[in-house]
Structure 1
Amino acid sequence: MSLRAALNQALHHFRAGRMDEAQRMAAEIRGRHPDDFDALYFSGRLCLRMGDEEQGVAYIEKALANNPGHAEAFFNLAAAQRKLGRLNDAAGSYRRAVEAAPGNAAAHYNLGNVLADLGEAEQAVACYQESLRIDPGLDQAHFNLGLALNGLRRFGEAVDSLKRATALAPDDDAAHYNLGTALINLDRLDEAAESLLRALEIDPGNADAHSNLGAALEDLDRADEAMAHYRRALEIDPDHADALNNMGAALLGPDRTDEALDHFHRALKIDPDHAGAHCNLSGVLLARGELPQGWTEYEWRWKRASPPMRKRGFPQPDWNGSSLKGKSILLSAEQGVGDEICFASMIPDIIDMGADCAVECDPRLAGLFARSFPQACVHARPYLEAENGEATFDYHLSMGSLLKFLRPAVSDFPERSSYLAVDEERRRFWRDRLSALGKGLKVGLSWRSGLMTHSRRIYFAALADMAPLLTMDNTIFVNLQYDRCADEIAEAEKRFGIVIHTWNDTDLMNDLDGAAALTSCLDAVVTPLTSIYEMGGALGIPTFAFHPPHPCIVSLGTTGVPFYPSARIIRQRVGEDWNRVFASIAGELANAA
């Protein structure tokens, strides 16, 4: 029997499911033709069908040594290598398949899958996109592209891909679920809830979808519905750590903090590495004044998924609280501008410990910090010389991590009125400009963050809510809101018959040295807990921060603000609007005038 006839007969047995006979014939063929590509490739496919990936890989690799341009063989080899967990080998084989058949959409798609497994999300995205250029109807490629884009936090693109996936596969609950998750990250909560509800119509037992739907509904102020979905998630899976954490966050308030804590602890018992639960636990502990454990839990901020944080890539070891006398340390600022200002309060402590101190910070703060801490060497981020090792230090530490070493108790906060030093020439400029407005209390106003999401709305007010404050006599109002707010100001001015002074030559967002000079000339600042509050407190200006009834971390279990002696937190009561809060602030300002 010829080689071709024998292979055809063996293939006939293979297709008919007579695997023993196919194996017998394959062995006979290899015995007569040990180096033949078709004999080896068939033997490899046969082994793969029978679940012997190791032997199948060996036969196909030997076959490809004789025919290195066979796209299908590389494709099947890659699939087997992936199944064996040999991901780098699988990626190489899929690349060879793509080289041999660049129009093969499945090869590009599967290469993307392996690259995603390897954590090479950007490369995976490119592969999925190429597979869809060849065959736009690959619903699974749209789905996996959406997952990869979600992981890269390219949420808008992820939504587009996942919408295409749901259009091509309308009964795919995973596609609807992941679309809902991406929409949550874009703060498009109504659409997210719709997608998650659709996922639950298809699979009512999806605990993840119930948990995420609860989170979306909670931010939409539909608290009872949110709690119902958290409970349903936990009925389906009592060990669902995300649902426990989400329910704990929903319970945070003046009367249910102990319940919230119990949920966080339960989540961590199930998943000790749940960064979100650790961070929520940190917030509760700090608000209660339990600082040592609170700061320890605060270290989990680096691992939380939302909002994500990335440590700067400095090669120096982290400082561990040891003596700094005669040592050098680089402190890198972190998070937002307000956090950088707050954590900068500990730079003098490090200098007083005898350290040669360098600081990396937001470029907008570099001038202000250099003037305020002349014994430190201040660098605008990125400080590349330190990152690449040209500038050397004994230690490095992200500035928020100083808290666990330098502020383990409220009594460790220094009693100083301020720690930032403004430019005197610019201060004189603002003093003269404000004096020209006439007599009266000069009050700086901010009412919201520049980052407004559904979940953050409760922390902020509208100018209309400030009526008791804005109707005060003998008061001159100065705008400190640093984003686009001209329409809001014009409406308030018309409603209350006042002027909120704003200057077009002042960039409150980017010229923070100038913003500090302006703030230093004010009699008071009224603001939520944003960078405006941090700036006012750091300059020692009487600062009134309004806050919802939720636990207030910055109070650290006290009635004041240990970070800033000149600051006050005025909190809502449960169920009330902002009227009493701003009336209280107005009363305190009137008494101080």
Structure 2
Amino acid sequence: MPQPSQRASRCDRAQPMAAERRKEAAFAVLQETRQNPEQVHACNVRASMVRRSFLKPYWRPFQPCVNVMSPGTPQTPTPFSAAAALSAARRLLQAGERDRAAAACRRILLDAPQQDEALHTLGLIALGDGQAAAAATLFGRAATARPDYAQAHANRAAALRRLDRNGESLAAIRRALALAPAEAALLHNLGAVERALGQTGNAIAAFRRLIRLEPGNGAALHALTDVLRTAGGLDDAIMASRALTALHPASAPVLGNLGILLQFQGQLDQAMGCYARALRVDPTYAEARSNLGLSQLLTGELAAGWVNHAARWNTTANAKARHTSPLPAWDGGPLPDKRLLVWGELGVGDEILLAGMIPDLATRGIGCVLETAPRLVPLFARSFPNVTVAPRGDPPHPATTQPDLGAQSALGDLGRWLRPNFSSFPRRSQYLVADPQRVAALRARYQAMAEGRRLVGISWHSANPNHRDFKSAPLPLWTPILTLPGLAFVDLQYGEHSADLEAVRREHGIPIIHDDAIDPMTDLDGFAAQVAALDLVISISNTTVHVAGALGVPVWTLLARRTGFLWCWFSEREDSPWYPSMRLYRQATADEWEPVFARVRKDLSATEAI
């Protein structure tokens, strides 16, 4: 048997030959460890060779004794370095190896449970994995361990915001800003959270502060534009949007957004110029083309407007709302032996407005299946007896998939073929028919309450989140007409508004008839009967005026100056080609309702007004 010195020299000789004569070296070391399993030096050489992949081609015969060390043999462990482990964790996280990065951080925390960088890195991993609650806790521990750790406070705010804990998020952002007052991302997040909390003024101030710090910050200009628009500061929003356009003059979305603001403000020529510029940059930009179409409709360019507005079906907002029917789009021509599927879009008021074109199809000899909002079905079915009226739903109603259907069209797309100019509007006094029995019963009841006074229905508020702030005319502004003698006013306002009615009764002694039996939100057919029972309707632009106009009831519509997207009233007209029974009362100056109500009072005072 070889002596120890011989065994050691055999192992020593094996190491330099390993790189060139791997098999020979491997078997030399294997022989030594088999003859003397307690030979630590040989076992270590073998383990090293395995780690360096020298034994991979000969792995199987050596596998049982790889890294076998004699029990009790003292070893020198590699010292643990927290700094090295943290550096490795960062590299692993950047490389996308999240689990290994987390394991490295947890190893650090075994020795130092309050190590702030390890806690913060684990928080980043948790946030990236969608574990916002865990991330908030980890960032909080990091900030507690190191109170001046601005990034930990900032990231804790981000995690809390994902949890909709905006109040706590705001406190964390403010703490971070106290440590890093010039950090742009923190100021942006401050404005966003304040806006989410309804602190609009503070949000505007935060974004303005950020823009002063970084005048070229496009994200801040965009955020400021949006919060100003929703707050009603349209002039300031346009200024911010123009600044953003100066930064990005070749951005179709930026140009398109400026066009939207200008259109809201009523500056239609400038708005259409922005849309045209956006389309020169990107001819496929559907949002700009669709909005250009709305502007053209508003200004009376009907033929071009209908064509361009059809691009709405290619926008992100409307793509999912498009009907899934496999039928081809109607091209305006005859459909021999076939019927047309027409489907509603947008809100109930829009469907009522556009349903005025349904009788035109019968005039052209085209049968129709009309898919509409379920609560419109009773009213439409009575009004269009030769049309199959089906409720919109999922799955689709069987009537919408019948084999005799030859083409399909959205209600709004009918205008291209049926309303190409103003002369194509028929002078049809009405096209909807309310339930005559309900009308008679309601009128008799209201007349008894009115004691001989004329019945006038009123509605003052819009629930549309895009238009309500400037469309609505608060009930106290109606006092000049509510105090006129000889009139009994009937509440046609949908939604909860009992406080408004009580305030008018208490402050002016004016009782407004409210009928609990009629709920426009759940019984639109009943609401139509209620409207038809009245002598006159006065309302801001909402579903009420569409119902009244379609029924042929005299209706006076109060329009805000900023009607840039309420295209159906067109520009500067005092009448409506859609509804012959309608008068339009427009604001001359934005937000000034008093002159409007003065004109209404004057006309109401005339004995022939109703």
Secondary structure at 2:330 match in 1: coil
CA distance in 2, matches of 1:316, 1:78: 48
CA distance in 1, matches of 2:497, 2:511: 14
1:130–1:388 distance in 2 versus 1, CA, 3 Å: farther
Secondary structure at 1:329 match in 2: strand
Look up the match of 1:553.
567
Bigger shift: 333-342 or 205-214?
205-214
Deviation at 1:473, TM superposition (A): 1.6
Look up the match of 1:521.
533
Deviation at 1:230, TM superposition (A): 2.6
Aligned pairs (5 A) from 1:113-128: 127-128=130-131
Aligned pairs (5 A) from 1:484-523: 484-523=496-535
Does structure 1 retain, via aligned residues, the 8 Å contact 2:248–2:254? no
Give the CA RMSD over aligned residues.
4.5
Deviation at 1:431, TM superposition (A): 1.6
Q: Deviations over 1:519-559 (max 9, x none)?
A: 00111111111101111111111111111223562233554
Does structure 2 retain, via aligned residues, the 8 Å contact 1:359–1:377? yes
CA distance in 2, matches of 1:187, 1:327: 54
Secondary structure at 1:592 match in 2: coil
Look up the match of 1:471.
483
CA distance in 1, matches of 2:438, 2:296: 41
CA distance in 1, matches of 2:171, 2:15: 51
Q: 1:260 aligns with which of 247, 262, 271?
A: 271
Look up the match of 1:461.
473
1:499–1:280 distance in 2 versus 1, CA, 3 Å: same
- Which amino acid is 2:231 matched to? L
1:201–1:479 distance in 2 versus 1, CA, 3 Å: same
Q: 2:211 aligns with which of 200, 207, 211?
A: 200
Does structure 2 retain, via aligned residues, the 8 Å contact 1:556–1:562? no
Q: 2:56 aligns with which of 33, 37, 41?
A: 33
- Which amino acid is 2:380 matched to? F
Deviation at 1:415, TM superposition (A): 1.7
Percent identical pairs in the alignment equals 30
1:395 aligns with 2:395: no
CA distance in 1, matches of 2:159, 2:323: 30
Look up the match of 2:459.
446
- Which amino acid is 1:592 matched to? A
Equivalent pairs, count: 502
1:214 aligns with 2:225: yes
Q: 2:377 aligns with which of 349, 358, 366?
A: 366
Aligned pairs (5 A) from 1:170-189: 170=177, 173-174=184-185, 177=188, 180=191, 189=200
Secondary structure at 1:359 match in 2: strand
CA distance in 2, matches of 1:525, 1:581: 15
Secondary structure at 2:390 match in 1: strand
Deviation at 1:366, TM superposition (A): 1.5
Bigger shift: 583-592 or 428-437?
583-592
Look up the match of 1:314.
324
Look up the match of 1:342.
353
Does structure 1 retain, via aligned residues, the 8 Å contact 2:323–2:343? no
Secondary structure at 1:366 match in 2: helix
CA distance in 2, matches of 1:35, 1:179: 63
1:249–1:407 distance in 2 versus 1, CA, 3 Å: same
Does structure 2 retain, via aligned residues, the 8 Å contact 1:325–1:353? no
Deviation at 1:494, TM superposition (A): 3.1
Aligned pairs (5 A) from 1:69-108: none
1:390–1:329 distance in 2 versus 1, CA, 3 Å: closer
CA distance in 2, matches of 1:483, 1:364: 16
Deviation at 1:482, TM superposition (A): 0.6
Does structure 1 retain, via aligned residues, the 8 Å contact 2:252–2:282? yes
Does structure 1 retain, via aligned residues, the 8 Å contact 2:560–2:590? no
CA distance in 2, matches of 1:144, 1:402: 49
1:317–1:464 distance in 2 versus 1, CA, 3 Å: same
Bigger shift: 262-271 or 387-396?
387-396
CA distance in 2, matches of 1:186, 1:359: 43
Q: 1:432 aligns with which of 444, 447, 450?
A: 444
Q: 2:589 aligns with which of 568, 571, 574?
A: 574
Q: Deviations over 1:68-93 (max 9, x none)?
A: xxxxxxx999988x9xxxxxxxxxx9
CA distance in 1, matches of 2:337, 2:123: 57
1:505–1:254 distance in 2 versus 1, CA, 3 Å: closer
1:512–1:186 distance in 2 versus 1, CA, 3 Å: farther
Secondary structure at 1:311 match in 2: coil
- Which amino acid is 2:600 matched to? I
Does structure 1 retain, via aligned residues, the 8 Å contact 2:188–2:210? yes
Does structure 1 retain, via aligned residues, the 8 Å contact 2:344–2:410? yes
Q: Deviations over 1:338-358 (max 9, x none)?
A: 112112222223344444422
Look up the match of 2:609.
592
Q: Deviations over 1:426-466 (max 9, x none)?
A: 1121121122122122111001112456x642222111212
Bigger shift: 296-305 or 411-420?
296-305
Q: 2:308 aligns with which of 297, 305, 309?
A: 297
- Which amino acid is 2:387 matched to? A
Does structure 2 retain, via aligned residues, the 8 Å contact 1:468–1:579? no
Q: 1:583 aligns with which of 572, 588, 598?
A: 598
TM norm structure 2 = 0.69
Deviation at 1:238, TM superposition (A): 2.7
Deviation at 1:332, TM superposition (A): 2.1
Does structure 2 retain, via aligned residues, the 8 Å contact 1:94–1:107? no
Q: Deviations over 1:30-66 (max 9, x none)?
A: 7863799xxxxxxxxxxxxxxxxxxxxxxxxxxxxxx
Deviation at 1:251, TM superposition (A): 3.5
CA distance in 1, matches of 2:315, 2:595: 36
Look up the match of 1:43.
none
Does structure 1 retain, via aligned residues, the 8 Å contact 2:576–2:583? yes
- Which amino acid is 2:357 matched to? M
Deviation at 1:226, TM superposition (A): 3.1
Does structure 2 retain, via aligned residues, the 8 Å contact 1:159–1:179? no
CA distance in 2, matches of 1:390, 1:96: 56
CA distance in 1, matches of 2:428, 2:270: 37
| Higher alpha-carbon Rg | 2
Deviation at 1:389, TM superposition (A): 8.9
Look up the match of 1:269.
280
Consecutive unaligned residues in structure 2, runs of 5 or more = 1-13, 20-48, 60-89, 108-118, 141-151
Deviation at 1:130, TM superposition (A): 7.7
- Which amino acid is 1:487 matched to? A
Look up the match of 1:10.
none
TM norm structure 1 = 0.71
